[in-house]
Amino acid sequence: MTPRRLVLLLLPLIAGFLFDPLPTGASGNKNFQFFAPPAEGTLPNGPLGRLIRQGELIFIHTGQYAPRYVGNDLTCESCHLDRGIKPYSAPLWGAYGTYPRYRSKNHQVNTLEERIQGCFRFSLNGTPPPVDGKTMKALIAYAFWISRGAPVGLYLKGQGIVRMSKPTSPPSPDRGKAIFEGRCSLCHGLDGQGTQSDNGQVAFPPVWGPRSFNKGAGFYNVRELAGFLKMNMPLSKGKSLSDQQAWDVAAYIHSQPRPEDPRKAGKGT
């Protein structure tokens, strides 16, 4: 038995002292081969439980619960599906135990807080909340809870975004446009600007334009975006795009207008 397996085996025992026993999977699906966060309804009572819940609310209704820091129509869940739990959409349980981490994006070792600040600044085209503020505290508490029982310092299956191998032919925005109009416009609109519900709230998020992520975001990288689309889009139909199609539609989205990278637009460092 490898040390990693041993750790994984022992973890439930250790964790058991702190909280209730670990569940086997969100809905008891035995074929589910990924890390399973704690079952619903097992949140601890008291201040910690309340903070975790607050973090969850910020995660799924970011504009409503952290309005000061959000500059577009997206929420954390727009990209980190199932409240930051779904594998291959950079789930929180894949991140919590893998920071601090060196990132070539800013040539620094980043903490998890700093990583989250990055998503606010680029993916939400907003302002990073302070590391010691309430918003960040709540999000970290939520990430901690989702990652209960996950090993520290190990990369788990399903963490991050799938890294696509090179496409057979260069990604083509033209081919991508046809795919987008055929398979994505139903929800995101032919013009990529998303859909509203009848009470005026965002129903399906915009994928480009003034209310979407900016040019500093991870998804402004075609490979990263293609990896997300491959596994997650169209919603509930992950893996139905071929690799080439995922590259093509990512290239099309990439070719559309969106807010500038704030680092280049001279809005700070």
Partner 1 sequence: MVVPTPKTLFVVPLVLATTLLGAGQDLTLPETWAAGDKEAALIAWGHTIAMQGNGLPGNTACAECHRINGGGMPSVGIPRIAGQTETYIYREIRGVQKGTRYSPYMDGIVQNLSRKDIRSVALYYSTVRTPKLHDPAEFDPSLRELGRRIARRGLWDRNIPACILCHGQNGRGIPPNFPYIAGQSKSYLMGQLLSFAIVKRKDDPEGLMRGIASKLTNREIKAVAQYFASLEPPVYGKIPEKNRPDRLRLIPDKETPNR
Stretch that binds partner 1, among 116-124, 125-133, 139-147, 200-208 (CB under 8 A): 200-208
The single residue among 22, 221, 234, 263 that binds partner 1, judged by CB under 8 A, is 234
- For partner 1 (CB under 8 A), the number of binding residues is 37
**Is residue 210 part of the contact set for partner 1 (CB under 8 A)?**
no
Q: Where would I find the beta strands (DSSP E) of 77-186?
A: 101-103, 108-110
Under 8 Å between Cβ of 142 and 135: no
Check residue 260 and report its DSSP letter: P
Identify the H or E element spanning 109: strand 108-110
Which SS3 state, helix, strand or coil, does residue 132 take? coil
Structure tokens at 75: 């929420």
Structure tokens at 53: 């819940």
Q: Which of residues 139-198 bind ligand HEC (CB under 6 A)?
A: 139, 159-161, 180, 183-184, 186-188
The single residue among 95, 136, 156, 164 that binds ligand HEC, judged by CB under 6 A, is 95
Which SS3 state, helix, strand or coil, does residue 160 take? coil
- In the chain, count H helices and then E strands: 12, 4
* Minimum CB distance to ligand HEC smaller for 36 or for 224: 224
The single residue among 10, 14, 152, 203 that binds partner 1, judged by CB under 8 A, is 203
Which of partner 1, ligand HEC, none interacts with 197 (beta carbon under 5 to 8 A by kind)? partner 1
Identify the H or E element spanning 196: strand 195-196
Under 8 Å between Cβ of 143 and 6: no
* Minimum CB distance to partner 1 smaller for 11 or for 26: 26
d(CA 24, CA 7): 17
Strand partners, 196: 202
Under 8 Å between Cβ of 75 and 60: yes
Structure tokens at 266: 């001279």
Q: Which of residues 58-87 bind partner 1 (CB under 8 A)?
A: 81-82, 85-86
* Minimum CB distance to partner 1 smaller for 101 or for 237: 237
Residue entry with tokens 């993916």: 123
**Is residue 155 part of the contact set for partner 1 (CB under 8 A)?**
no
Which of partner 1, ligand HEC, none interacts with 182 (beta carbon under 5 to 8 A by kind)? partner 1
- Interface ranges with partner 1 (CB under 8 A): 25-27, 29, 32, 34, 36, 40, 81-82, 85-86, 181-183, 185-187, 189-191, 193-201, 203-204, 234-238
- Interface ranges with ligand HEC (CB under 6 A): 59, 62, 74, 76-81, 90, 92, 94-95, 112, 115-116, 119-120, 123-124, 139, 159-161, 180, 183-184, 186-188, 204-207, 212-213, 217-219, 224, 229, 233-236, 241, 249
